[in-house]
Amino acid sequence: MDIIFYHPTFDANHWISLLQRQLPEARIREWRSGDNGPADYALVWHPPVEMLRGRTGLKAVFALGAGVDSILSKLKKDPDLLPAGVPLFRLEDTGMAEQMQEYAVSQVLHWFRRFDDYQALKLQAKWEPLADYEREDFTIGILGAGVLGGKVAESLVGWGFPVRCWSRSHKNYSRIKSFAGREELSAFANNTRVLINLLPNTPETVGIINSELVNQLADNAYVLNLARGVHLVEDDLLTALDSGKLKGAMLDVFSREPLPAESPLWRHPRVAITPHVAAVTRPAQAVEFISSTIIQLDKGQHPTGQVDLQRGY
């Protein structure tokens, strides 16, 4: 079995070492330009077209992250990037759900306990106890109900918040109200106090967090974007913050990354920013998932995690 690996920033030697322990019989190498040697599997992130083009012998390609939009966008420009019939797999969890839970829960509690308000008072040197928010008035709405969205929703239910989710199709999560399809998006947004985005990046979801959606949220709502920057219309967000419709936003992802220094998001007092770190790929857990999937594929089984190229996730 031959495996090729490519990531523009990861330590290839470390990954190859971890893979070799899981798949001792495999021949694993870091792919470099000009390498046209045999390959049964490819592990990639933002792969050059020449790495995959024409490799009809591939049994599968693995994206080294939960999102596959970088590969799919390249595939639209160059249909030969991924040989026909070669399945594409994404990392379903591999520690990302836990990280997303930590991020989302900590931020929701930050807003719920009014720490944003207390920080603003602190800057004015004001000692002023504020009235508590009530959980029943703090409905959490999650855009995206896949592996990550479902885990985040379950965590917030555990803290006693009313939680609802919206996705392409209805889900059967316990204690979580499910909405689906564009026809139910307004009902989902109505009375939502905290909007959390964990949607996949598809043509249908680009720009979904816009003025129309935001204006249907509860007054003094919050937005937490953990998915992709293209989901959010930044100008609409700023307008809603300045008008008072939104009380705050926490953003981990942006349409342009790194976020340009001239972006007004940096300077807005009610916008908090992190540099796309909500959930990062953990090598040991990712390698365990990839190795297990490869073993299943070699046995003729059908493991989870395969991407539907038409849906984009």
Shared domain for 86 and 102, answered yes or no, is no
Helices (H), 40-174: 49-52, 69-77, 96-112, 115-123, 147-158
Shared domain for 199 and 293, answered yes or no, is no
The predicted structure's pLDDT at residue 70 = 84
What CATH number has the domain bearing residue 207? 3.40.50.720
Residue with tokens 């639209």: 76
Across the chain, mean pLDDT equals 96
Other beta carbons within 10 Å of 162: 19
Contact by Cβ (8 Å): 100, 226:
yes
Residue with tokens 């139910």: 184
Shared domain for 152 and 131, answered yes or no, is yes
- The rounded distance, in Å, linking the Cα atoms of 117 and 124 is 11
Q: Give every residue of the chain whose pLDDT is below 50, as ranges.
A: none
Residue 305 located in a structural domain: no
Among the listed residues 90, 164, 168, 228, the single catalytic one is 228
The predicted structure's pLDDT at residue 171 = 95
Shared domain for 265 and 199, answered yes or no, is yes
- Is the Cα torsion angle 12, 15, 17, 22 positive or negative in sign? negative
Residue 312 located in a structural domain: no
| Tally of domains within the chain | 2
- The rounded distance, in Å, linking the Cα atoms of 68 and 303 is 17
The predicted structure's pLDDT at residue 41 = 98
Residue 304 located in a structural domain: no
Shared domain for 220 and 269, answered yes or no, is yes
- The rounded distance, in Å, linking the Cα atoms of 304 and 91 is 10
- Between the alpha carbon of residue 74 and those of residues 44, 45, 90, 224, the distances in Å are 13, 12, 16, 28
Q: What is the amino acid identity at position 313?
A: Y
Shared domain for 264 and 229, answered yes or no, is yes
Does the active-site annotation cover 228? yes
SS3 232: strand
Among the listed residues 276, 282, 302, 311, the single catalytic one is 276
Residue 307 located in a structural domain: no
Residue 6 located in a structural domain: yes
Residue 248 located in a structural domain: yes
Report pTM: 0.93
Contact by Cβ (8 Å): 254, 247:
no
- The rounded distance, in Å, linking the Cα atoms of 162 and 135 is 7
SS3 222: strand
What angle, 0 to 180 degrees and rounded to 10, lies between the N-to-C axes of helices 283-298 and 12-22?
Answer: 50
| Host domain of residue 291 | 2-94+281-299
Shared domain for 148 and 236, answered yes or no, is yes
- Using the CB atoms, write b or e for 63-91: b if 16+ within 10 Å: bbbbbbbebbebbeeeeebbeeebbbbbb
Task: State in Å, rounded, how far the first CA of the chain is from the last one.
Answer: 27
Residue 313 located in a structural domain: no
Radius of gyration of the chain (CA): 21
The predicted structure's pLDDT at residue 143 = 98
Express each pLDDT in 75-96 by its tens digit.
989 998 998 999 999 998 889 9
Shared domain for 37 and 25, answered yes or no, is yes
Express each pLDDT in 198-225 by its tens digit.
999 999 999 999 999 999 999 999 999 9
Residue 266 located in a structural domain: yes
